[in-house]
Structure 1
């Protein structure tokens, strides 16, 4: 069971499981704690994992005014401090990877290591156009189901669409009671679309693993690699055949990769 913790002027929904070194999981667009279920279930025997609903997502309210990556990074820092966690392995995907980058830049002492899945330093024209497409799609789609079916075409592999995995995900989202409004989705996108960390990534000191889906059509491997090349000593791996969210499609493989990385960090990053 989760609880709200106070972070600045925000009540942030948090769930925590397991025992061991601390891990903070940061989701992407519209993704709640539940998006990390395969990690909460699969890694809790080795780590104490904390996941949370970002501002405007799930059970965390959206304050008035514009949303910024800096605010969301500070929210993540407030979650750690509220729980008495002095340092954690931080894993973020998609928009959550950008928040994770900013967390490591703004609050370096809190970040033991970084795992950045499906990330980028700044959106190139292709990705920016795709994200703006999602921004208007959420407004004009004839139903929530239609939006999800269109959005997920570029998020999950054809394999996941054809074997019923995506259909199951859609039913879970439709049944979830804490809906995100169109305005909240668009404000989150607005915070990310022109965000640029490319000139500051060299300041990140935390051991970093950058992961790309080899078939990701959005934050493509070239964008992920550009992040890895800018962070000193970062490791870069491509999961061949996978799309934007391999931590959900092939969780055992993903969990093994990050577990191996975290074990190296705990043993003393070379």
Structure 2
């Protein structure tokens, strides 16, 4: 299994497919396996590079707290290990924050940005609407599925079939996650913002957001698109925070159409 060492952590990564490189960056406490709904389509035309952020999955969970900037440097190290000088970058939730930071720190690495269900962070962001979980939330391994079930109202649209949600839970409950890793990633989110730096992003950018996102309200996506030069905003009806599960066909279309556009040199910038 390929690993790259960066700033005191071994970062797990892998790849599949061939073609223009696409880097996928997942969100808080989720491993790279949660891209399972889009990877099969992407690998038909692209070289897909995935990794586990520090603190989750097969990557190390060193002492923290971690920072979004540090996790962006981890992503850059993965691209270097893969021999990639530039990639399309897709980030979901916290992964979208990492993708923004990568585009700001290392603009030469980012061919395009697709930011899903994410935010610019900081005091100007819209934070979650309160929803009472269905039962107590625990980080302990033996109560992992109980925690995931309790978070369903916060993460998914009301209309999403429960069978599809349980497919996600099956994947997530197999992923290694420690209290240390979760809390250190969460600290990175709390102490990060890109708001004032967004106009410096140079890459063609598409921002996609679920209309029913309760965890990261869609107002955040609208602000991102308004502050990143030339960015476009796509609001997805019937989708909550986990876009790819709530509206899988729409998300595949959005991703593939955007990548085809920018790969052909027809980006909006």
Q: TM-score, normalising length from structure 1?
A: 0.90
Change (3 A) 1:169 1:263: closer
Q: Secondary structure at 1:200's aligned position in 2?
A: helix
Name the counterpart of 1:159: 159
- How far, CA to CA, are the matches of 1:129 and 1:256 in structure 2? 29
Which among 180, 185, 207 is matched to residue 183 of structure 1? Answer: 180
Question: Comparing 11-20 with 105-114, which one deviates more in the overlay?
Answer: 11-20
Name the counterpart of 1:227: 224
Q: Which runs of 5+ in 2 are unaligned?
A: none
- Is the CA contact (8 Å cut-off) linking 1:15 and 1:33 kept in structure 2? no
Q: 1:168-222: per-residue Cα shift (whole Å, max 9, x none)?
A: 3223333x1x521122211111110242111000000000000010111121221
Q: Secondary structure at 1:35's aligned position in 2?
A: helix
Name the counterpart of 1:41: 40
Residue 126 of structure 1: how far off its partner (Å): 5.8
- How far, CA to CA, are the matches of 2:65 and 2:84 in structure 1? 28
Name the counterpart of 2:56: 57
- Is the CA contact (8 Å cut-off) linking 1:138 and 1:182 kept in structure 2? no
1:237 and 2:260 aligned:
no
Q: 1:135-180: per-residue Cα shift (whole Å, max 9, x none)?
A: x9445898212211112321112223x4322223223333x1x521
- Is the CA contact (8 Å cut-off) linking 1:128 and 1:193 kept in structure 2? no
Residue 249 of structure 1: how far off its partner (Å): 3.2
Matched residues, number: 263
Q: Secondary structure at 1:158's aligned position in 2?
A: coil
- How far, CA to CA, are the matches of 2:178 and 2:13 in structure 1? 20
Which among 236, 258, 263 is matched to residue 260 of structure 2? Answer: 263
Name the counterpart of 2:23: 24
Which among 198, 202, 208 is matched to residue 201 of structure 1? Answer: 198
Name the counterpart of 1:254: 251
Q: TM-score, normalising length from structure 2?
A: 0.90
- Is the CA contact (8 Å cut-off) linking 2:118 and 2:216 kept in structure 1? yes
Residue 129 of structure 1: how far off its partner (Å): 7.5
- Is the CA contact (8 Å cut-off) linking 2:128 and 2:215 kept in structure 1? no
Q: Secondary structure at 2:58's aligned position in 1?
A: coil
1:103 and 2:116 aligned:
no
Residue 99 of structure 1: how far off its partner (Å): 0.5
Change (3 A) 1:181 1:72: same
- How far, CA to CA, are the matches of 1:107 and 1:9 in structure 2? 20
- Is the CA contact (8 Å cut-off) linking 2:103 and 2:201 kept in structure 1? yes
- Is the CA contact (8 Å cut-off) linking 1:8 and 1:78 kept in structure 2? no
Matches within 5 A, 1:4-19: 4-19=3-18
Q: 1:6-59: per-residue Cα shift (whole Å, max 9, x none)?
A: 335432111211111110000001111110112211111111101101101100
Q: Which runs of 5+ in 1 are unaligned?
A: none
Q: Secondary structure at 2:83's aligned position in 1?
A: coil
- How far, CA to CA, are the matches of 2:245 and 2:25 in structure 1? 14
